[in-house]
Structure formats: C-alpha cells, structure tokens
Amino acid sequence: MESARDLFEHELCVLYDAETKAVRSLGRMSMRCSDPELVDVYKQYQLVAEKRLDRLVAVFGLVGRNPQRIPCAGMNGLIEEFSDFLESKPSDAVLDAFAVESARRVERYEVCAYQALITLAVALRLDEVTELLLESLGDHNLAGGGFKALTISLTEKLIVPKE
C-alpha cells in the first residue's frame, strides 16, 4: 500500500465488511430485545443500513472495483461483545439497555469510518463518491437518533423501582 488511493480502496473494503456485518447482526440483535419500540428502531436502522450497503456497491463501481470485503476487526469486536454479554443471561430490561448502547457503539464506529473515507475521497477529488458517502453519513445522523432517544428511557427502567 503506497498511496492515498490504495488506502481509500482498503478502507472502502473494510467499511463494506462492517456494513455487511451490521445488516446481518442488527436483525439478530433485535430478536433478542423485548422492548417493542427498540425492536422497531433496530428494524428501521437495518433498512437504512441496507441502503448504505447499496451505496457502497455503487462506490465500488465508481472507482472501477468489484465489491470486496476485508475483515473489519472493530465490527467483529462489537458483535462479539454483544454475544458475550448474552452469555451472562441478563434480564429483559438489562438486555434492552445494553442492546441500545451496543447499537449506538456500532453506529458511532460506522460514522467514524465514513468520515475517514469521505476525507480520503475529497482529497482524491472523487466527487460522486464523496456525495454518496455524505448521503450515507447523513443516514447515520438520522437513524442513530432513534437509539439515542431510547437510551434514557430504557436505562430508567432499570433504575426506577417497579410499583
């Protein structure tokens, strides 16, 4: 790897892997949740993630490459963290509170990856690519808000004593 273009293509492949894993894992994570609103936000986020994945395929086309995945260790770690937590057999309320925070970590990880890729695309003057990546970053800002809004209410369920 010797150039900004090489780095861009590498990071594109890593982000493609991360998004692919996010789409798959979000569905599995939502099936473990008990809060109906959280399940709904997970499903909405998954639909948006599928659109971002489509955009990444378009980016590959714009740079003259076939979509390829390079394993994303960061996403692997976030998914493993959720799986490991399930082994502790948490109550429904505890799992929901953890699940919403896990989803937020996934979302923030992806935001950072998109920002880095956008910086490279701008430097390389890949204008169409930049537009697609910015659109996906905007999706994160909208979709991630659903998880943020639920964080407080799900955590309060753990703290406020039941009557």
| CA–CA gap between residue 130 and residue 115 (Å, rounded) | 10
Q: What residues contact 116, with CB distance under 8 A and at least 6 apart?
A: 11
Instruction: Identify the structural domains of the chain with CATH numbers, from first to last.
Output: 4-159 (1.20.1260.10)
pLDDT at position 141, please?
66
Q: CB-hemisphere CA count at 13 Å for 29? A: 33
Percent above pLDDT 70 for the chain: 93
| CA–CA gap between residue 158 and residue 96 (Å, rounded) | 10
| Res. 156: pLDDT tops 90 | no
| CA–CA gap between residue 136 and residue 156 (Å, rounded) | 31
- Looking at per-residue pLDDT, the higher value among 146 and 58 belongs to 58
| Res. 13: pLDDT tops 60 | yes
pTM of the full predicted structure?
0.87
pLDDT at position 5, please?
96
